[in-house]
Amino acid sequence: MSLMMQEERLILVDEQDNKVGIGEKMQVHRQGALHRAFSIFIFDRQGRLMLQQRAAEKYHSGSLWTNSCCGHPRPEESNLAAATRRLHEEMGFNCPLTEVDQILYRVDVSNSLVENEFNHTFVGVFDQPPAINPDEAEGWQWMTVPAIFAAIEQQPAQFTEWFKVILGHFGQGVIQQWADGLR
Buried b (16+ CB within 10 A) or exposed e, 68-84: bbbbbbeeebebbebbb
Measured distance CA(133)–CA(81) in Å, rounded = 19
Does 90 belong to an annotated binding site?
A: yes
Does 7 belong to an annotated binding site?
A: no
| Annotated active-site residue in 57, 99, 117, 138 | 117
Closest by CA to 178, choosing from 160, 166, 162, is: 166
Measured distance CA(32)–CA(27) in Å, rounded = 8
Measured distance CA(138)–CA(53) in Å, rounded = 6
Does 169 belong to an annotated binding site?
A: no
Does 57 belong to an annotated binding site?
A: no
Catalytic residue check, 69: no
Catalytic residue check, 95: no
Q: Which amino acid is at 107?
A: V
| Annotated active-site residue in 70, 76, 77, 161 | 70
Does 120 belong to an annotated binding site?
A: no
CA distances from 10 to 33, 73, 124 (A): 10, 7, 24
Does 35 belong to an annotated binding site?
A: yes
DSSP E strands, the chain = 9-13, 19-24, 35-43, 49-54, 65-66, 69-71, 97-109, 113-125, 137-143
Measured distance CA(38)–CA(121) in Å, rounded = 6
What residues act catalytically? Answer: 70, 117
Give the annotated binding-site residues for Mn(2+).
29, 35, 72, 115, 117
Give the annotated binding-site residues.
29, 35, 72, 90, 115, 117
Give the annotated binding-site residues for Mg(2+).
90
